[in-house]
Structure 1
Amino acid sequence: MSDDDLWESIDRLQDWLVSTQPARPPQETLFLRMLKLSEEVGEVAEAVIGATGQNPRKGVSHTWDDVQAELCDVIITAAVALRTVSPEARDVFATHLARVTDRSLEP
C-alpha cells in the first residue's frame, strides 16, 4: 500500500465515521476519538498479556499475530484521530515523523 492509499483509506474511514455516528460538537467528537485510541492501546496490552500467558486464569489466550493486529488498530485509530484534528493529517504526520527521525538519529 502506498502512502497515498494509506491516507486515502484514513480519509474514507473518517468520512464513514462522520456519516454513521450522531452529530456531535467537534470537541466531543475529538474527545471520543481520543477515548477510542485509549481503548485500542488497552487491547494491545491485553493481547501481549494473553500471548505471554501472564494471566493465570486465562493462560495463553492470544497469539503474537493478535498483538500485531491490535498494534495496527492503534495506528489506524491514531491516524483517524489525527485526521479528526486536522484535514492536513498526512502533512502533519510526515513533518512530525521527519522531526522525530532527525532528532533521534542525530549523532
Structure 2
Amino acid sequence: MAIGKANASGTRDIKAIAISSKSKEFDKVEIASGPCGSCRQFIYEMSQVSQIDIEVIGSTTNKNHITLTTIEKLLPLRKKRYVDLNIPSQIHLTDSQNLLIEAAIKATDTAYAPYSKYHVG
C-alpha cells in the first residue's frame, strides 16, 4: 500500500491518495475501487497524524468511472470516542452480546494502533 510506504519513509502530511486495482482474474473496469476496511482505518490514522481529511480518489483502470471522497466520509463509524457517536447510554444487550463485548475488551490488550492510540479488540 502506497500510504504505508510513505509512512515508512517518514512522510506524514499526506493530502490525497488514489486507488485502482487489477488482477489477472478480474479487471475492475466497471466499479471504481475504494480502500478495504483495514486500509480505510490506516488512512484515517494517518489523517489524525497530519490533521488533514485525506482525499480518496478511486478509479477504474480505464478511468471511465472515478469517485472522489474523503476518509471522513468513507469511514463514518471510524474508531473515535463514544461520546462523539451519540449512542444511547441505556442499551439492552443479550447474554451472548455481553460475552462478545467482554471478549472484545480483553482483546484490546493485544491490539496494535501506533498512530491513533485506539486499542481496538
Q: If the TM-score is normalised by the length of the shorter chain, which range does it land in?
A: under 0.3
The structure number with the bigger radius of gyration is 2
The structure richer in strand per residue is 2
Structure showing the higher helix proportion among its residues: 1
**More contact order relative to length (CA 8 Å, sep ≥ 6):** 1
